[in-house]
Amino acid sequence: MRRFPEMAGRLLDEIARAQLVPLADLPPDVVGLGRETTYRDEVTGRENTVVLVMPREADIAQGRASVFTPIGVALIGLRVGASFTWETRYGEDRQLTVVRVE
């Protein structure tokens, strides 16, 4: 909360509305911890693939993004086809769409 109050607030909002289920019960098209997820930037058409992990396992060079990062908070719980607005580090709004979950 002290280091990243805006991010912490967004994560707390997600937690408040979350429904926790065992990974085995999570539908296969929903983003969850440990699932490889591909999303597309609708402005550039560029696709990125990440696996959401807990912070201690994060290594962006290996494609493992922390669930506590802005993209992790935005992606967790979304279904394939869902879109969300993302603000880049340069203050630009981008529309991102979940393309695939494996």
pLDDT given at position 70: 80
Computed over every residue of the chain, the mean pLDDT equals 88
Are 65 and 50 in contact, with CB atoms under 8 Å apart?
yes
How far apart, in whole angstroms, are the C-alpha atoms of residue 47 and residue 15? 27
pTM: 0.81
Q: What percent of the chain has pLDDT over 70?
A: 96
Structural domains for the chain: 5-101 (3.10.50.30)
For residue 66, count other CB atoms closer than 10 A to its CB: 19
pLDDT given at position 85: 86
